[in-house]
Chains A and B, each alone.
Chain A
Amino acid sequence: MVLTSSLLLLLIAVTAVLIAVLVFRPGLTSSQGGKILAFFVLFLLPLICLGMGTNYHIERSKQTQFCLSCHEMEPYGKSLMVDDPAHLAAAHFQNHRVPAGEACFTCHTTYAMFGDIRAKMHGLRHVYIHYLRTPPAPEDIRLYDPFNNRECLHCHLGARSFEEGAVHNGDPDLLPAVKANKLSCLSSGCHEVVHNVGSLKDAKFWKGAP
């Protein structure tokens, strides 16, 4: 990420300098070489900068740190450090079942066509609410749609611990219902404790890897 931003910054600087040359000496474009230079500097390079910049911002917006930079998300970040394996989000984050650097995105994107775009559109809506509306209290934040098992199955489907787990196989109808999204993984009695930001006051926290 640092290398990408340094490269992009270098490209922006070089492009800006070359554009400045053309702005101060537009007569250069009267020659054929000048016209080719103008095409590169006023068309191709800015397009490349825009494309690379968009990609950089999209990649950066997947980072856990990025999501937690809004104060509404602070308790959700805290919930990742709860010292209790029953807390689904904390157990996934602390045991690196999801990439720690992209923890929020990994579970909250949609693993379907246009899922990433949908997640970004939701993000833009969050920015709008954050700056121009009154954001809800963290404990009142709800998902747009009920959590789809597809997001869990993206990683767990076919995994031995999931397919052969004693609890999952206690009832022969359970796994097919979960796979068909008829029974939510987050159902009561299953993995119902996810972030539970309303009850973090009494929780014990893990201090993180040494």
Chain B
Amino acid sequence: MLSTNPFERRLQFSGVLLILGLLVEAVCLFWTRPIAFVLFLCVGGLLLGFGILLFLFSLVSRDHAQP
């Protein structure tokens, strides 16, 4: 399942984080309590943020630069 290529593996990790973040975001949409806003920001936002950062990191990482 996990790729042996470091660049692709990072993309996969990034994708998993993003999917989890999106799931949290989707759940919070249906929950009309103030805690939903906090969860959306603190859990969903962090997961999405880390996912995006990991994707950006994978683009500039050394493994990717090497042929």
Contact = CB atoms under 8 A, between A and B. Distances in A.
Contact of B36 (A15, A46, A57): A57
A69 B34 contact: yes
Contacts of B21: 46, 50
A23 B12 CA distance: 5
Contacts of B22: 12, 15-16, 19, 46, 49
Interface in A122-137: 123-124, 126-127, 130-131
Contacts of B52: 42-43, 46-47
A49 to B, nearest CB: 6
Interface in B1-59: 1, 3, 5, 7-9, 11-12, 14-16, 18-19, 21-23, 25-26, 28-29, 32-38, 40-41, 44-45, 48-49, 51-52, 55-56
A26 B5 contact: yes
Interface residue SS majority, chain B: helix
Nearest to A47: B52
Interface residues of B, number: 37
Please give me the 4 A-B residue pairs with the lowest Cβ-Cβ distance, nearest first.
A26-B8, A23-B15, A42-B55, A19-B15
Interface of A: 5, 8-9, 12-13, 15-16, 19-20, 22-24, 26-27, 29, 38, 42-43, 46-47, 49-50, 53-54, 56-57, 60-61, 65-66, 69-70, 123-124, 126-127, 130-131
